Amino acid sequence: MPAIGDMSYGYSTAGVADYLEAIKSEALNLAKEAVLDTSEIKTCCENEWEGKARENFVANLETDAKHVAEQFDTLYNILVSEINSVNAAMANKDESLINVE
């Protein structure tokens, strides 16, 4: 952690970056892995269900799982954009507090 004299702003920009990376690695990636792991559902369907309806269901399940995983990425990118916007606003506020005219 930097000393207060070493800081450019009154908040930690590195902390924001670390926070975003933690969300991505801990929450986003785990959620994507979970939604994409359809193996148990597929196994159950294959063991208990026959016919074209099963094939369609499994195909739709895979398509939907991929779509949800992509939405996680989209939502994460929106979150990053919003946090970066707040970060920029905080930097502007800090600048206005220390600029004396």
pLDDT confidence of residue 6 = 56
Residue 69: partners with Cβ closer than 8 Å, 6 or more residues away: 32, 35, 36
Segments in the chain below pLDDT 50: 4
What pLDDT does 50 receive? 94
Q: What is the pLDDT of residue 44?
A: 96
Q: What pLDDT sits at residue 51?
A: 95
Q: Does the reported pTM lie above 0.75?
A: no
The angle, 0 to 180 degrees and rounded to 10, between the axes of the packed helices 29-36 and 52-98 is 170
Q: What is the pLDDT of residue 84?
A: 84
Instruction: Give the residue extent of every domain in the chain.
Output: 9-98
Can you give the pLDDT at residue 41?
96
Q: For residue 69, which of 34, 43, 40 has the smallest C-alpha distance?
A: 34
